[in-house]
Amino acid sequence: MDLAAYERRVRSGGCFICGLIRGDPGAEHEVLYDDGTHLAFLSRHPTLRGYALVAPRRHVTDVVRDLGTAEYLALQAVVHAVALAINDVVATERTYLLSLGSMQGNAHVHWHVAPLPPGVPYDRQQFHAVMAEHGVIPQTPGEIATLGAAIRAAIVRPDPGGGVQAI
């Protein structure tokens, strides 16, 4: 992965999440979940197998100020449902959930769901495990599609009342 080119693209290009939602050429990702309000998809540059992103469809840039409590909790319910599904499909010792991005690039609020596999040495866990600087996992389009289908099949739709219901 060319990190310098990636940084130039995210700092000068349009919002990649909005591009995915609009169907812009080159913005395609393997979509895992879409309820019309939230979207989850596999990372195009995964550092861990099953690494996914979850975002509101509405372009918001501040996870604290731009989301009311109900919107924030609804988003977290989707993050949780996607993380559970990933854990059902991918061997996971720990699941990292992070809201990353910057007003200078990748500003659209999104959560990273990063499944750490068992047996990773401690010095390669936590931030090290999610940093593209340490390498991304090469995957074929077929492998991505197969993984995406398995995760989609395992997702249980969050219930706004606090329970869950099958999709």
pLDDT tens digits, 85-115: 999 999 999 999 999 877 676 778 999 999 9
What's the predicted TM-score (pTM) here? 0.87
> CATH topology for 3-166?
HIT family, subunit A (3.30.428)
Name the pLDDT band for 26 (thresholds 50, 70, 90): confident
pLDDT tens digits, 1-22: 666 666 666 656 678 888 899 8
Top pLDDT among 132 and 167 is at 132
Top pLDDT among 14 and 141 is at 141
Top pLDDT among 82 and 127 is at 82
- Which helix (H) or strand (E) segment holds residue 32: the answer is strand 31-34
The percent of residues above 90 in pLDDT, for the chain, comes to: 60
How much is the mean pLDDT over the chain?
88
pLDDT tens digits, 60-74: 999 889 999 999 999
Top pLDDT among 3 and 35 is at 35
- Domain definitions of the chain by residue range: 3-166
Model pLDDT, residue 133: 83
